[in-house]
Structure 1
Amino acid sequence: MALIPSTILTGFLGAGKTTLLKRILQEDHGLKIAVIENEFGQENIDNDILVQHSDEQIVEMNNGCICCTVRGDLIVALAKLAQKRDAGEIAFDRIVIETTGLANPGPVAQTFFVDEEVGSYYLLDAVVTVVDARHAMMQLDEHEEAQRQVGFADKILISKTDLVEPAQLDALMARLKRINPRAPISRSDFGRAPLAEVLDLRGFNLNDKLDIDPAFLTEAEASGHNHDDEHEHVHTEACDHAGHDQNNHHHSHHSDDIAAFVFKSERAFDPARLDQFLAGLVNVFGPRMLRYKGVLLMEGAERKVVFQGVHQIMGSDLGAKWGETEERRSKMVFIGKNLPKDIFIRGLEQCLV
C-alpha cells in the first residue's frame, strides 16, 4: 500500500500558517487532506474556520478535507488516523501537520523515521516554513526557534510582503538564503500559495532513489566566495560573533547561530573513509546538524550517491548515472547551529581519493 505523503507546516507566531490552512480546509481543490493541529493549548484552529467542540477530535469539512485536533502524542494521533482510514471510517490521501509557532520542527520530522508504525503508513514529503516579512528580522534575531524553522525548511513561503518596502524584502530573502540555501522561496500573502508549492514537493527523501535537484546549491554558490581551491563554503556573519549587536537593525547583515556552508570537490570520495568520517560527525555534532544534503562522487562508481539527513538520522542511496558530458563533482550543504565549518571541510578533504 502506498505511503501517505505528509507535510510539516511550521513558522513563527503570527506568520500566517492558520490563514494558509483555512484556504486548504475550505477551497474546492478536490484533494482529501487531513490537517493535524499539533497544539497543546486550549485554542485550536480559529473559530471562523470551524466550530470545535471539546469532545470532538475529527471534523470533516465540506470539501472532503478533515481537521484533527491533537492534544497529546503525535505518534498516537497519526496511528489512530491511519487505523480509521484502513477501517473506512474516514478518507484522506495526504496529511498536513501544523506545529505551534514556537516549535522546533526537528522532533516532528524525526517522528517519521524513528517510529516503525508511523513509518509504515506515512512518508514525510517536506517541511514548509511560513515567514512573516514584517516581523521576521526581529524574530530571527531574538528567537533560535525562528532560525531553526528556516533551517529545516524544504520550502519557504513569505507572507505579508505588502507590509514592507522592496529593500526590506530583499534583505530578508538574502538572510533566509544565507541560513538555508537549499530551500526555494515564494510569496504567500493572505494564504494565497498554489497547493503545488505546499504539497508533493518531494523535498525530504531519506534513502530515496530520487536524484537531488541539481540547482539546490545554486543560491549558495551564488552567495559564496569564488575560490580557486577544491572547496567552497558560504561565509555568514556567524563566522565572527565578536562585537556584533544582534538587535541593531542598522547593520545590513545579521549574526545567526543557524547558518549554512557548502563543500564541493571534483575529486572522488573514498567510500570507507567518508562513511567513517560522516558517522563521527553525526555522533558528535548530530544535535546541532539541522539538515544536510548532497550529491556525491564516489571512487569507481558510475552512479551518483545521494545523501541526506536530519540531526542524527542519516541516509544515502544510489542516484542517477553520471552523464557522459556531465561534470562529475560532489556537492554538499550543511545547515546547523554553530557548526565548526573548518573541521567539517578539513575532514571531508581527507576523505578524498
Structure 2
Amino acid sequence: MIEQCDFTVLSGFLGSGKTTLLSAYLACSDVGRVAVIVNDVGEVNIDGAVLALQDGVPMATLSNGCVCCSLTNDLPYTIDALVRERRLSGQQPYTQIILECSGLSDPGGVMRSLSALAGLGMRVRVVTTYACDRHVAPEDFSLLAQQVGAAHTIVLTRTDLVSPQQIADAATEVKSMGPMGKIIVETSPEARARAAFDVPAALPLSDAGHVPGGRYESQHPRIKVFSLQWDHELPWDHVAAWLENLAFYFDSRLLRTKGLVRLEGGDVLLIQGIGQHFDTPRRLNQLDAERSSLVVICRDASESEVIELAPQIPGMTVSARTAGSKAIELARPRYD
C-alpha cells in the first residue's frame, strides 16, 4: 500500500498563534518526514525565521504576497520541487507538508491553487487558529468567516490568557461560523499541537475518503446553513452548471459545500467544496442514496438566492438553519 502525504493548510488571523502552534508541533514530533512552507507578507519573513530554528525540517518560503491570489503559481511549483527533491535524494517520501498561510489568506483560494497537484495524491486538511483573547474587527468578519468556515479543524489558542468562560464563548463563536469544523480546546501546547496535526486528512485532492454525515447548524446571524434535497435523479450537466453558478454568484460568501448527488442512471457522486473550490466529484456506486442531499454554508445569504440559481434542476427542497433554529441533518446513505 502506497503511503499518502497529508497536506495541511494552516490559516488564521495575524496574531492568532499559527507559528506558535506549528513550532510546538515541530518540537514534540518526529519531523524526519515533515516539510514546512511559510507564506509571509513583508520584506522580512519573520515566521520563516522563527521556524528555521527547528532542526531537520525542510523549509520553503513564499514572501511578499498571499498564496490565495498573487502567489498561486509559486505554491504548486514549491510543493512539486519539495516532493521531487525528496525523491531524488533517495529518502522516504514526506508524510506531511504544512503550509503556514499569512493572516490575509483565504483557504478556498489556496485549495484552488492546489488543484494542479491532484496527481500527487495528497490528502488535504484545513486547520484554522482562533485566538480566545482577541476580537476581529467588524470589517474583517468576511475573511474570518472564510477561514473558520473552511476549516476541518479549528484550534482555540491563547487559552492561558483568558478565563474558562471566555474559552467557552470562543468555542461557541467559532462553531457558529464553522459548523462542519472539529474544535480543539487544549490548554497544553503539546496536546494542542498534536490534536491539530496528528489526525487523518479530510479532503483528498484526487480521491475522496469519506461519506458526509452529521448535524450542522449555525447560531450566528450572518452564517446560514442550507439543506438542499431532491427526491428524483439529476442530470450531471445541470448539477455542474448549478455548482458553477453557486461559486460565481456567492463568491467569497460561499464557505462550504458537502453532500451526495444521485444522478440519472443511478450513479451517486460525493460533492465537497471549500469556498469556491470543489474537489473532483467521486462516484460512490456502492451506496444506495434515496435522494440527493447537499449542505451549503454561506455568509449573508438568503434562501431565495439559493433557489433562484437552480432553475434547471427543479424539485429542490430547501431548509435554512441559522440563529435559534434546529440543527439540520445530512442523511447518511445505506450501504448495500
In the superposition, the TM-score normalised over structure 1's length comes to: 0.72
Give me the CA root mean square deviation.
3.2
Q: CA deviation at 1:296?
A: 3.3
1:341 matched residue in structure 2 = 303
| Structure 1: tracts of 5 or more residues without a match | 52-59, 221-233, 239-258
| Structure 2 Cα separation of the partners of residues 70 and 344 of structure 1 | 37
Distance 1:78 1:48 in 2: 21
- Structure exhibiting the larger radius of gyration computed from Cα positions: 1
State which of 93, 96, 99 in structure 2 corresponds to 1:97: 99
Amino acid paired to 1:103: S
Deviation at 1:300, TM superposition (A): 6.0
Name the amino acid aligned to 2:138: D
Q: What is the rounded CA distance, in whole Å, between the counterparts of 1:22 and 1:131 in structure 2? A: 16
2:242 corresponding residue in structure 1: 277
1:307 to 267, 271, 283: 271
CA contact (8 A) 1:125 1:200 kept: no
Q: Which ranges in structure 2 are unaligned for 5 or more consecutive residues? A: 65-73, 318-336
Tell me, in whole angstroms, the C-alpha distance in 1 between the residues paired with 2:48 and 2:208: 40
**Pair 1:68 & 2:60 matched:** yes
Number of equivalences: 299
1:212 is aligned to 211
For the 8 Å contact 1:306–1:317, the answer to whether it is kept is: yes
Q: Which residue of 1 aligns with 2:324?
A: none
Shift of 1:297: 4.4
Give the one of 160, 167, 179 matched to 1:169: 167
Displacement of 1:96 in angstroms is 0.3
- Quote the residue 2:138 is aligned against: 141
What's the offset of the Cα at 1:142? 4.0
Change (3 A) 1:341 1:321: same
Query: 2:184 corresponds to which residue?
Result: 186
Q: Quick check: 1:195 aligned with 2:179?
A: no
1:174-225 CA-to-partner distances (Å, cap 9, x unmatched) read: 222222211111124435325354245332245634332422xx142xxxxx
- Cα distance in 2 between the residues matched to 1:83 and 1:161: 39
Q: What corresponds to 1:126 in structure 2?
A: 125
Q: Which amino acid aligns with 2:58?
A: I
Verify: 1:6 aligned to 2:7, yes or no.
Answer: yes
Q: Which amino acid aligns with 2:96?
A: R
Give the direction of change, closer, same or farther, for the CA distance of 1:188–1:10 in structure 2 (3 Å limit): farther
Q: Quick check: 2:226–2:297 contact (8 Å CA) kept in 1?
A: no
Structure 1 counterpart SS, 2:294:
strand
Q: Which residue of 2 aligns with 1:250?
A: none
Q: Provide the residue aligned with 2:80 in structure 1.
A: 79
Secondary structure of 1:237's partner? coil
Sequence identity percentage: 24
Taking the aligned partners of 2:275 and 2:264, their CA distance within structure 1 comes to 27
Deviates further, 4-13 or 138-147: 138-147
Aligned positions of 1:232-271 closer than 5 A: 236-238=220-222, 259-265=223-229, 267-271=231-235
What displacement does 1:127 show? Answer: 0.6
CA change 1:24–1:89 in 2 (3 A) is farther
Structure 1 32/196 Cα, relative in aligned 2: closer, same or farther at 3 Å?
Answer: farther
